[in-house]
A and B are shown apart, each in its own frame.
Chain A
Amino acid sequence: MTVRGRDAMLVPLQDALRDVKADEAELHVHRRRSAISRYAKNQIHQNAVADETLVQARVVVAKAVGIASANSLDPADLRRLIADATAAARESAPNADWPGLAGPAPLSEPQAYDAETARADARSQADAIKRVTAAATQRACRAAGTHQIELTEDALANTNGIATYAPSTLAYLRALVTSDTGTGWAEDLGWSARSLDPSGVAARAIEKAALDRDRTQLAPGDYEAVFEELAVAEVLRFMSLTGLTGETLRDGRSFMKDRIGEPVTGPRFSLWDDALDPRTLAIPFDVEGTPKQRVALVEGGVAKGVVYDRQSARWFDTRSTGHAADPRRYTVGGHAGNLTMAGGEAKREQLIRATGRGVLITRFHYTNTPDPKRATMTGTTRDGTFLIEDGRITRALANVRYTMSALDLFSGIELLGPQRLARDWWSSNGMGSIVCLCPPIKVARATLTGSSPL
């Protein structure tokens, strides 16, 4: 993959902004080159690469905002884009709470970028997949999944003098191994292809698939539980969307409403948003050009605050924390997308040994929230749901439906393992953009409300 670089991405924006006839204007370009190899039944069935460049213009005229986007950095196209946004602003009504565009501020260096990963080709992706499928075939299983390499380049310039650029890379490998009796799942995620271990992914998925036999159904009720990292990331997603932004606080939908400074979970739960952690996937500025800051959300179970973009910061008479959301996915009001949950030292085996009678949950599928105010999540498990009895896995379970408030779940944390990079089902499939550094946990109580058939 070819990196276009700072000048190729930024200079056309700066040139286009020189003669803007408006109070304020901003251009943000997001280039994404995504190479995805999808495999099923041990062979690649879709193998695609796409290179796209999204340019968005925001133009402000007398506090009225116009937005236009296109997919070209050609000077004539950028001029037309600004003209479209200007026309939209002139047709729009003023926003009395308009906070103004961001001004220049010191930024950290981009950390989530690896030039070698950006150069990965189709053959290297196929080779990684072959290591997974060979291991699965050896165990008389079949494997399915995805190998993804992505290069992004973001550049943002505005009439207040911001001119910033950051590249980033993403490498992702997932494997679903299916045996005659069940399924197992494993994945690796990082900003470098070196962080992907195809053999390790295959081994973990195969181990789970081998355990998934002679399933039994579990009656609904409250159980002790071990949530692996992907399952924890799923729960964190709903905390983020329903309660950790200036918009949800303003609307009264956040569980933090009137509770900042009060305990909202048990003391073993701490959560912050930190895009600057070198382990996570992020660039150092948000889509408004504001530097991303580390924000404490919950500390020792006590609600500490939420994240803000410029608009929601204005509502609360505070400063943006650098959490403006991708407007293609989220509404104005902030987005907590780089969550870090405090972890611990417990190994997976210790979490299981500490469980008298309970369930181990690998991951969830198609979750949702029937009660946003309580950050309640419902979803069925898949690809590794097991019964734990007297500190060891004794049976595979038919997938269960879990329905519970995140606040209640995290109030019952008894043990925490080390953090790992993980995404919820929605974000790993491109339907969200939340990345978590989170631990596996052992909790005193998880509420199961149903079971799938055997």
Chain B
Amino acid sequence: MTPDLIYGLTGIAVFGIGLVGALCAQDRLRRVLALKLCSVGAGFLLVVGAWREPPATPDPVPHALVITGIVVMVSATAVALALIRRLQTLEATDER
């Protein structure tokens, strides 16, 4: 087992756990967190893919992709959380 294989499999496992959570979880917040986990797994995989045996330097392009992915994910999470908050407020007023 080379290090990149170990890290790669870890990335796939993290993505898989997130995917199961995103599809199966009932709680809204839990599903957002599961999707976050997915994104961590995906980013992990790409960073591992860019790794090169030491004297060589890693490929910077996948790193750039991952950074953009993180930025997109932050804004998407913010929107999802805002929607969840709004829904909870509406549900609270309905029940009253």
A and B from one assembly? no
**Residues of A that sit less than 8 Å from B by CB:** none
